[in-house]
Amino acid sequence: MKIVTAVAPVNIAVIKYWGKRDETLILPINDSISCTLATDFMCAKTTIMASPTFTDNKFWLNNEEVDFNNKRLNNCLTEVKKRASPKCADLLNWKIHICSENNFPTAAGLASSAAGYACLVSTLAALYEVEGDISSIARRGSGSACRSIHGGFVWWQKGVQPGGEDSVAVQIAPASHWPEMRMIILVVSDDQKKYSSTSGMKTSVETSELLKYRSEMVVPKRVKEMVEAIKTRNFENFARITMQDSNQFHAVCLDTYPPCFYMNDVSRSVVELVHSYNKYKGATKVAYTCDAGPNVCLYLLEESIDEVVTLINDVFPSSVGPSEYFRGLPVNIKNRGGLQEVLKIKADAPGSLKYIIHTKLGDGPKLSTEK
């Protein structure tokens, strides 16, 4: 019997991946960049047991047994096994039992598939003692998963080879490079999303002219600017590009036929709030970004946390009590003098948030092995 456990992080893109040039190999039409979140508050955890006495392969996801006969899971398993260490020859014939869980809502636009597949592939790679880059294997589970293989700031390079050998994720800088960076995740809804990223981006590739323009004319330039902003810790540029890219991604979703609506009135009022807060501060202090769902991730520096959380708390009274309101890192709620101007937006705020998570940058997957 061999047992391996891994924990893997969520990543939130600041330059979005949207659109594949190869559906089976999961090869993207453009590069993307993301930040990896600390695993303390949001992560996936996978344990795999391999035993010569198991008669079947089995898979449990969030405590429910699911069909092992899943294409993406099997693609990852096949790729890992191809690269197994010669030391693991016997193990290759043993059946495996996989147990995976997320400590946050699955499929609510909270990057659960990214953490899930990064975790699965890291665990499988440890089980079969695979050496070298595994981001191209995680990519076969879910495109965005390849970025969760590294910590800090991560760049998924689309690559040019038809087989995808050069479509890999690389680290731009570790989490320690910009320790003041913080994220606040505003959970607007934890319901299952209406249209999956996979089918949404397929329809976008088939129908959106804006997506073609974005991938060829906009993203290459934006990626260069973003890498530079990260390397030089230029928050103003980092934040501006993040917001512009989120907006363009959602514009592509509207340009898709039929359109995909991911953001809702609450997400849009957060966008307005961020712009009025930045105007009130006279500088870009906060950035927003939304993926394929209504939840919003804010990027900001530690110095802005208390004031921004106070503001969010005032504008969007949460349905949960104050003590449970902030999961994650602590926040000192100060008195809100001076924010009245920004708070005017409260009159138009259309709803409340489920909860918010305050977190920071983190490292890649972590492993533990027992034999």
Q: Which residues bind ligand DP6 (CB under 6 A)?
A: 13, 16-18, 26, 32, 113-114, 142-144, 197-198, 291-292
In the bound complex, what is the minimum distance in angstroms from residue 32's beta carbon to ligand DP6?
A: 5
Q: How far is the CB of 192 from ligand DP6 (least distance, A)?
A: 14
- Per DSSP bridges, beta strands 95-102 and 58-61 are parallel
In the complex, what is the shortest distance from the CB of residue 260 to ligand DP6, in angstroms, rounded to a whole number? 10
User: Given strand 296-301, what is the order of strands in its sheet?
Assistant: 286-289, 296-301, 181-187, 355-360, 326-328
Cβ nearer to ligand DP6, comparing 32 with 39 = 32
Alpha carbon 230 to its chain's center: 18
Q: Tell me how far CA of residue 351 lies from CA of 140, 264, 290, 299, in angstroms.
A: 38, 10, 17, 22
In the structure encoding, which two tokens stand for residue 349, read together? 């705020």
Cα separation, 106 vs 8, whole angstroms: 15
Q: Closest CB to ligand DP6 among 91 and 290?
A: 290
* Position with the least CB separation from ligand DP6: 143
Token pair for residue 16?
A: 């979005």
Q: How far is the CB of 199 from ligand DP6 (least distance, A)?
A: 8
Cβ at position 54, least distance to ligand DP6 in Å: 28
Q: What is the DSSP string of 330-370?
A: ---PPP-TT-HHHHGGGGG-----SEEEEEEB--S-EEEEE
Q: How far apart are CA 272 and CA 259, in angstroms?
A: 22
The residue among 368, 367, 329 whose CA lies nearest residue 42 is 329
Comparison of 137 and 345: residue with beta carbon closer to ligand DP6? 137
Tell me if 138 sits within 8 A of 145, measured CB to CB. yes
Q: Toward ligand DP6, which CB reaches closer, 113 or 171?
A: 113
Q: How far is the CB of 367 from ligand DP6 (least distance, A)?
A: 23
| Buried b or exposed e, range 349-367, using 16+ CB within 10 angstroms | beeebbbbbbbbbbebbbe
Task: Report, in Å, the least distance between residue 362 CB and ligand DP6.
Answer: 17
Of residues 50 and 151, the one with the C-beta less far from ligand DP6: 151
Query: Smaller CB distance to ligand DP6: residue 105 or 311?
Result: 105
Q: Which is nearer to ligand DP6, 84 or 210 (CB)?
A: 210
